């Protein structure tokens, strides 16, 4: 059973001049923690706004919790919890007032669904009488999550919940999502951070409004077709320039303190080391490594660019 | 309906929390009602006169002292020549130059007629004409008291005597005209500005996004926004009426319930106007400027400062199309004249039309855009 389905969804802005979402289809299974991974401007927010009935797609169909986003938009609003990327609660109301307000407009009370938000709410409860506008970024996110959960939704849509939040709060936030998932709530979350992808059960990689791949993080990494090498030397910038000029190198980009390099057929680590030493580099290290989601993303992106041009 | 209750509770909580705005909403009417009518005064009270007396006779002296004692004129200088007197007009010291020619008394007595020179600084048109008119009246009075004219009473100016009394504003004081209008200004600011800004703020901060994914219906959201300002508008109106009574002793001569009926209808129209602005603007600065643009036009065209009767025809037609005009008119009629329902019912239907059109348009546009 699918909780969220999109079929050939297309959305343009500016009278068709800007293509935001290009023929996107994917499904999120019930009770799944699904990640929509892509850089800024990839079309993630547009997809969320279509799913939350705030935006009408140009073509295609979508459903959330079994309801069509166009026909049954009222039903969707009762069964979906949405947390926009931008903090959108009342800044001049306190934590408690915000929570109470959203509970009452959904026709419920804070107490009725307290067990669902308990873990998260307990953390911000000491600041109950503080205005939402005066909270720290992490606390705002927690409050927003509480408000999105207060009516016990079947599906939770979180648009970049961890953007602009410190590392510790981010980790806590993902722990919370895992707990919510265990309560049977389907979660669709978007993020521009590749390292968060492995925390999802399945992910969709999105770029320029197009889905590049949908699978589990392991399978996406596993489908990386060639060997990947991490290379470094004393002068990392010169190495980057030199390797890019090398005919045997297929791709080369900076990744932390290393360069990630893929080779054309038949070449290996020794060739890289030999070539680099020949160019006068000292302390050259080249190791074969396991690719990460980011490597997969970059490869998918370059393959797409190559087929396009 | 229950949901509307929750929204209203939230709105009032937010409004009451913003102490600056709250204070402004109540300080503004009081201060404006006190300052405006006292400062804005179109009555011509003191006209500065420069006299060039070339005659230095009994007659010329008694004319000058008659002018000086009328209370409207201040004799600020007596110049020896017209040229010199003109300089005091140029420097802005005097408004009128009265030139009495040489042989003034002699010619009056001998020939029964004489001419006087009046030069009026006409930069401020109304002051010039009123000042000139007053001075003429004083001179005419002086003329009537002359021996020559007293002797042949039947042939001279004694034909029809006009006496008059001012109704509704016996002393013809400008403040009675402007106080009811300031009351209207207050309601206009609350109804137009505050609602527009409040709704646009939800758009700007993005909270409307969160509201739109809840089961709150559009009419609930709109009413939740309009009702608080409708209530506040009426409270401010009441405060304004109290200030009028305490400071100026103006108490509505007409039925006070009728006045409130109009205030209610007027606020509905203005709230619709605020809502309409909010549907066309995306942030508070836009809303502010659009609202300000229309408010200034409304104010200037409404007969607030100058009577609509003295406007050219096209402007009078235009002024009929602003709700402010009608409420200003009715407000003055009820407060000063004590007009009843029959006198003002046409205006009431005008206001109802404005309410229906503005609100209808706003809701139609609100639906279309989201």
Q: What is the mean pLDDT of residues B135-163?
A: 71
Nearest to B209 among A74, A84, A105 (CB): A84
Residue B101: pLDDT above 60?
yes
Are B21 and B97 in a shared domain? no
What is the bridge-based pairing of β-strands A155-158 and A33-37? unpaired
Minimum Cα–Cα distance from A107: chain B residue: B3
Query: pLDDT digit string (tens) for B29-86?
Result: 788 888 877 777 666 677 888 888 888 888 888 888 888 887 788 888 888 888 888 8
DSSP string, B143-206: HHTSHHHHHTTTTTT-S--------SSTT--HHHHHHHHHHHHHHHIIIIIIHHHHHHHHHHHT
Name the residue among A80, A91, A101 with its Cβ closest to that of B213. Answer: A80
Of residues B161, B55, B160, B162, the one with CA closest to residue B117: B55
pLDDT at res. B152: 59
Residues B214 and B343 in one domain: yes
Query: How far apart are alpha carbons A284 and A307 in whole angstroms?
Result: 34
What's the count of helices (H) and strands (E) in chain B, helices before strands? 16, 4
CB B252 within 8 A of CB B341: no
Q: Do B14 and A90 touch (CB under 8 A)?
A: yes
**Both B34 and B55 in a single domain?**
no
Are B124 and B239 found together in one domain?
no
B34 lies in a domain? Answer: yes
B123 part of a folded domain:
yes
CATH fold for the domain made of A2-216: Rossmann fold (3.40.50)
Question: Is A84 in contact with B206 (Cβ distance < 8 A)?
Answer: yes
pLDDT at residue B157, as a whole number: 52
Q: Tell me the CATH number of domain A225-290, given options 3.90.1330.10, 3.10.20.520, 3.40.50.620, 3.30.70.2070.
A: 3.30.70.2070
Nearby residues of B204 by Cβ (< 8 Å), 6 or more positions away: B282, B283, B284
Could you tell me which of B304, B352, B347, B312 has the C-alpha nearest to residue B328?
B304
Number of domains making up chain B: 2
Digit-coded pLDDT (tens) for A96-108:
999 999 999 998 9
A173: Cβ contacts below 8 Å, ≥ 6 apart: A138, A141, A142, A145, A161, A162, A165
B174 confidence band (pLDDT: 50, 70, 90): confident
Task: Give me the sign of the Cα torsion angle A167, A87, A54, A172.
Answer: positive
pLDDT at B151: 63
* Region of B311 on the Ramachandran plot (φ > 0 left; ψ -120 to 50 alpha; else beta): beta
Whether B350 and B210 map to the same domain: the answer is yes
Per-residue pLDDT of chain A (309 residues; tens, 9 = 90+): 788 999 999 999 888 888 899 889 999 999 999 999 988 888 899 999 999 988 888 999 999 998 998 888 888 888 899 999 888 899 999 999 999 999 999 989 888 888 888 888 998 999 999 999 998 888 898 999 999 999 989 999 999 988 888 888 888 889 989 999 998 899 999 998 888 888 999 999 998 888 988 999 889 888 888 888 898 888 888 888 888 888 888 888 888 888 898 888 767 788 888 888 888 888 888 888 888 888 888 888 887 777 766
Which among B99, B119, B151 is the end of a domain?
B151
Tell me how close the Cα of B235 comes to any Cα of chain A, in angstroms: 24
pLDDT at residue B55, rounded to an integer: 86
What is the model's pLDDT at position B143? 80
DSSP H or E segment with residue A26: strand A18-29
Q: What's the mean pLDDT when you consider all of chain B?
A: 84
**Burial of A236 (C-beta count, 10 Å sphere; 0-12/13-18/19+):** middle
| pTM for the predicted model, two decimal places | 0.77
Tell me the CA end-to-end span of chain A in Å, nearest whole number: 39
- Nearest chain A residue to B210, by CA: A88
B13 touches chain A (CB under 8 A): yes
Collect all residues of chain A within an 8 Å Cβ-Cβ radius of residue B3.
104-105, 107
Interatomic CA distance for residues B2 and B21, integer angstroms: 28
Q: Which residue segment(s) compose the domain that B212 sits in?
A: 2-40+173-369
Whether the CB of B368 is below 8 Å from some CB of chain A: the reply is no
Alpha carbon of A103: minimum distance to chain B alpha carbons (Å) = 10
One domain for residues B77 and B187:
no
Helix (H, G, I), strand (E, B) or coil at B137: helix
Alpha-carbon distances, residue A274 vs A286, B73, B338 (angstroms): 10, 108, 104
Based on the domain organization, do B119 and B261 belong to the same domain? no
Predicted confidence band of residue B153 (pLDDT cuts 50, 70, 90): low
Q: CB of B19 within 8 Å of any CB in chain A? A: no
| Same domain (yes/no): B76, B196 | no
CB-nearest to B215 from A78, A88, A92 is A78
Q: What is the pLDDT of residues B298-343, one digit of tens each?
A: 888 887 777 777 788 888 888 888 888 889 888 888 888 888 888 8
Mark whether B87 and B28 lie in a shared domain.
Answer: no
- Measured in angstroms, the CA of A88 and the nearest CA of chain B are apart by 4
Q: Which chain B residue has the Cα nearest residue A69?
A: B213
**Interface test mutation site (partner B, options A78, A92, A140, max chain B beta carbons within 10 A):** A92
In a domain, B156, yes or no: no
Size of chain B, expressed as the number of residues it contains: 370
Indicate if the pLDDT at residue B155 is higher than 70.
Answer: no
CA–CA gap between residue B260 and residue B105 (Å, rounded): 63
**Spacing of C-alpha B317 from chain mean position:** 19
Contact A88 B205 (CB under 8 A): yes
Point out the residue among B3, B210, B216 whose CB comes nearest to the CB of A88: B210
The domain locations on chain A are 2-216, 225-290
Residue-level pLDDT at A225:
85
Non-local (6+) Cβ contacts of B319 within 8 A are: B301, B302, B303, B308, B311, B325
pLDDT confidence of residue A32: 92
Q: Do residue B247 and residue B206 come from a single domain? A: yes
Tokens of B44: 């011509």
> Min CA distance, B204 vs chain A (Å)?
10
> Residues B104, B23: one domain?
no
Q: Nearest Cβ partner of B214 from A91, A97, A105? A: A105
Distance from CA of B214 to the nearest CA of A (A): 5
Cα gap B173→B170, rounded to integer Å: 8
B13 and B147 in a single domain? The answer is no
What pLDDT shows up at residue A97?
A: 93
Is the Cβ pair A147, B210 closer than 8 Å? yes
CATH number for position B139: 3.40.1710.10
């Amino acid at each position: 059973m699918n909780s969220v389905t999109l079929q050939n969804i297309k959305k343009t802005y500016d009278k068709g001049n800007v293509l935001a979402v290009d023929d996107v289809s994917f499904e999120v299974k019930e009770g799944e923690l699904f990640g929509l991974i892509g850089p800024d401007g990839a079309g993630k927010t547009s997809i969320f706004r279509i799913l939350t009935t705030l935006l009408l797609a140009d073509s295609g169909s979508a459903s959330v919790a079994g309801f069509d986003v166009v026909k049954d938009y009222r039903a969707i609003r009762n069964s979906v919890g949405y947390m926009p990327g931008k903090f959108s609660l009342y800044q001049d109301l306190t934590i408690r007032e915000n929570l109470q307000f959203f509970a009452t407009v959904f026709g419920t009370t804070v107490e009725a669904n307290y067990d669902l938000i308990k873990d998260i709410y307990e953390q911000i409860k000491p600041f109950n009488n503080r205005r939402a506008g005066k909270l720290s970024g992490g606390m705002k996110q927690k409050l927003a999550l509480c408000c999105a959960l207060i009516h016990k939704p079947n599906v939770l849509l979180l648009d970049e919940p961890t953007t602009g939040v410190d590392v510790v709060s981010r980790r806590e936030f993902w722990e919370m999502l895992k707990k919510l998932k265990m309560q049977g709530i389907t979660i669709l979350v978007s993020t521009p951070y590749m390292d968060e992808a492995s925390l999802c059960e399945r992910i969709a990689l999105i770029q320029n409004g197009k889905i590049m791949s949908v699978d589990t993080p392991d399978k996406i990494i596993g489908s990386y077709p060639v060997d990947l090498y991490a290379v470094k030397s004393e002068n990392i910038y010169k190495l980057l320039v030199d390797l890019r000029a090398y005919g045997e190198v297929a791709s080369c980009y900076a990744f932390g303190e290393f360069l990630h390099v893929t080779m054309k057929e038949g070449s290996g680590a020794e060739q890289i080391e030999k070539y680099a030493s020949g160019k006068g580099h000292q302390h050259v290290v080249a190791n074969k490594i396991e690719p990460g989601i980011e490597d997969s993303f970059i490869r998918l992106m370059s393959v797409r660019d190559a087929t396009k041009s | 309906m229950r949901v509307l209750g929750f929204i209203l509770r939230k709105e009032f909580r937010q409004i009451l929390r913003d102490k600056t705005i709250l204070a402004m909403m109540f300080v503004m009417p009081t201060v404006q009602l006190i300052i405006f009518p006292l400062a804005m005064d179109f009555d011509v009270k003191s006209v500065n006169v420069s006299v060039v007396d070339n005659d230095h006779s009994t007659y010329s002296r008694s004319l000058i002292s008659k002018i000086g004692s009328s209370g409207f004129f201040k004799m600020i200088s007596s110049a020896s020549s017209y040229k010199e007197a003109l300089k005091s007009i140029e420097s802005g010291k005097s408004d009128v130059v009265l030139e009495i020619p040489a042989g003034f008394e002699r010619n009056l007595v001998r020939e029964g007629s004489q001419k006087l020179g009046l030069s009026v600084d006409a930069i401020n048109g109304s002051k010039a004409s009123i000042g000139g008119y007053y001075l003429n009246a004083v001179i005419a009075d002086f003329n009537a008291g002359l021996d020559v004219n007293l002797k042949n009473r039947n042939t001279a100016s004694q034909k029809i005597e006009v006496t008059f009394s001012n109704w509704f504003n016996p002393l013809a004081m400008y403040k009675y005209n402007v106080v009811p209008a300031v009351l209207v200004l207050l309601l206009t600011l609350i109804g137009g500005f505050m609602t527009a800004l409040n709704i646009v703020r939800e758009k700007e901060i993005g909270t409307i996004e969160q509201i739109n994914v809840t089961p709150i219906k559009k009419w609930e959201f709109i009413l939740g926004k309009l009702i608080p300002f409708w209530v506040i508008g009426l409270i401010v109106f009441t405060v304004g009426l109290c200030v009028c009574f305490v400071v100026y002793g103006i108490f509505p001569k007409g039925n006070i319930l009728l006045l409130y009926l109009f205030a209610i209808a007027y606020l509905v129209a203005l709230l619709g106007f605020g809502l309409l602005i909010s549907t066309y603007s995306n942030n508070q600065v836009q809303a502010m400027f659009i609202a300000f643009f229309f408010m200034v036009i409304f104010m200037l065209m409404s007969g607030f400062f100058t009577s609509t009767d003295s406007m050219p025809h096209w402007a009078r037609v235009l002024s009929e199309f602003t709700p402010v005009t009608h409420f200003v008119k009715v407000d003055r009629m009820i407060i000063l004249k004590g007009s009843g329902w029959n006198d003002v019912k046409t205006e009431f239907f005008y206001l109802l039309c404005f309410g229906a059109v503005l609100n209808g348009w706003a809701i139609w546009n609100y639906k279309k855009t989201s």
